[in-house]
Amino acid sequence: MAWIHNPILRGFNPDPSIVRVGEDYFIATSTFEWFPGVQIHHSRDLVHWRLLTHPLTRTSQLDMAGNPPSAGIWAPCLSHDGQRFHLIYTDVKSMPATFIDAHNYLVTAESIEGPWSEPVALNSSGFDPSLFHDDDGRKWLVNMLWDHRTGQNRFAGIVLQEYSPGEGRLTGPVTNIFRGTALGATEGPHLYKRNGVYYLMVAEGGTGYGHAVTVARSSALGGPYEADPAGPMLTSRANPDLPLQKAGHASLVETADGRWYLVHLTGRPIMPFRRCPLGRETAIQEVAWTPDGWLRMAGGGHEPALTVPAPDLPAHLFKEEPPRDDFDHDVLSVHFSTLRVPADESWLSLTERPGYLRLRGRESLNSTFRQSLVARRVQALDFTAMAAVQFQPEHFQQMAGLVCLYDVENWYYLQISRDEQVGRCLNLLRSLNGRYDEPVTRVELPEQGAVHLRAAVSGATLRFAWSLDGRTWTTEGPPLDFTALSDEACRVGRFTGAFVGVCCQDLAGTRREADFDYFEYRESE
């Protein structure tokens, strides 16, 4: 028997939505403030997965300039109606305090790799929208309803409204079909239909360690919906010793031979800190229907398993990604992301100096608008990232280097700059929840030549180093707390994950460029 090993999508890949089209399985996950929007992974056996594409690649589809940390793309829903792919997504513009500005859109494509259409604006009544294709051909949108009023439940229920493809808009009445259970924070809705019964799957209990999956059902689309009397069908909330925590926000898929699987959000904490710097990841479980029509874990209980029986499908492996990128292509690797805005020739080039990634310095690491930063998800708790940079700063406001970053308030940055007394120099900068400091004295560098930079993480510890030849390394600075780059360590209401990458700033506005010869990301586990 073949086995699936969890998590199937490691690193920051939350809020999975899965769909099968023929022999192909696709999972869409949230990207929050990272561009391009929505990650789509592909598999043919549910065991092996590859990052395939991002559907939201244009600012006409997604304009996140100025979005606050952990806003942007929340909980996409990927579906297929037999002819086209449909992707529903939220662009969150302000974070929930009293009010929330969350705008929901639809894009479509004939092929999963696009081109994807311009967006159709749907509503802004709440987040986590999902599109249900009924067997009569009608389409229905569900999303959670946000209530800002004092004394009210912020998560005010799941609302349903019909979507008219011909008119390109929502039509008809809005119906609140499910107000949730005592767990609260009812969100992440998905509708399914089986044997004439409608099933509503929701996330409850918040996105942290109390997370859970609740299922309700009804004989009519508009309800009333009865919650499963057995309580959550999946959760880690009662067992802090489980390796997979935060289990919740799930989506269902049926294989061609009638087996059912559920993909769900999870987190793997570093103990004893109970922090998850890899962010919320995606795992999978086999599920089964009971004779009386409720959904249960196939192995019994309601806790997530690390290993799951795989379906009886031919093994389908993908070519492994090389750990080193020498920037020999004219497009960025699919694994790279930028913050809030797309990579364009105004600040990034792979062709001006062939074999190099050129970044023109723009705003600071605190900016939510125009950063010159290219990074990838951290997907293991033991890894080494390296880059070589050629950079000739003229003054202290120009800097470039290697960064480990959670968001604009939380990062560690080994950078090259210039000091009036030292000359060209190396410096280590740190910002944790917006508190900035420089842990070490500036190190003098030769006035010319490339500098190799390295970040090495082992569990909870991050160490930086530098080299002039790429062989002999000098450790820079003290051991740093890598778990500080996690939801649990950052301000309340943050839920992304750690990235590592390269960046360049020019705070004087003269756009001084830095040339990166390579970037390498190599996992040890």
Q: What positions carry a catalytic annotation?
A: 15, 187
| Beta bridge mates, 169 | 164
Print burial letters for 16-47: b (CB count within 10 Å at least 16), e (below 16): bbbbbeeeebbbbbbbbbbbbbbbbbbbbbbb
Strand, coil or helix: 493: coil
Is the link from the previous residue into 7 a cis peptide, with omega within 30 of 0? yes
Conformation bin of residue 242: beta by default, left when phi > 0, alpha when psi is -120 to 50? beta
Q: Which of 521, 522, 517 is nearest to 326 (CA)?
A: 517
- Distance CA(475)–CA(444), nearest Å, equals 14
Give the distance from CA 237 to its chain's centroid: 22
Q: Which of 254, 180, 266 is nearest to 223 (CA)?
A: 180
| Beta bridge mates, 203 | 187, 213
Strand, coil or helix: 482: helix
- Distance CA(461)–CA(273), nearest Å, equals 12
- Structural contact between residues 1 and 309, judged by C-beta atoms closer than 8 angstroms: yes
- Structural contact between residues 250 and 234, judged by C-beta atoms closer than 8 angstroms: yes
Tokens linked to 440:
């070490």
| Beta bridge mates, 171 | 162
Residue the block writes with tokens 């009519």: 220
Q: DSSP letters of 179-206?
A: ---TT---EEEEEEEETTEEEEEEEES-
Strand, coil or helix: 411: strand
DSSP letter for 32, please: B
- Distance CA(281)–CA(275), nearest Å, equals 13
Print burial letters for 369-404: b (CB count within 10 Å at least 16), e (below 16): eebbbbbbbbbebebbbbbbbbbbbeebbbbbbbbb
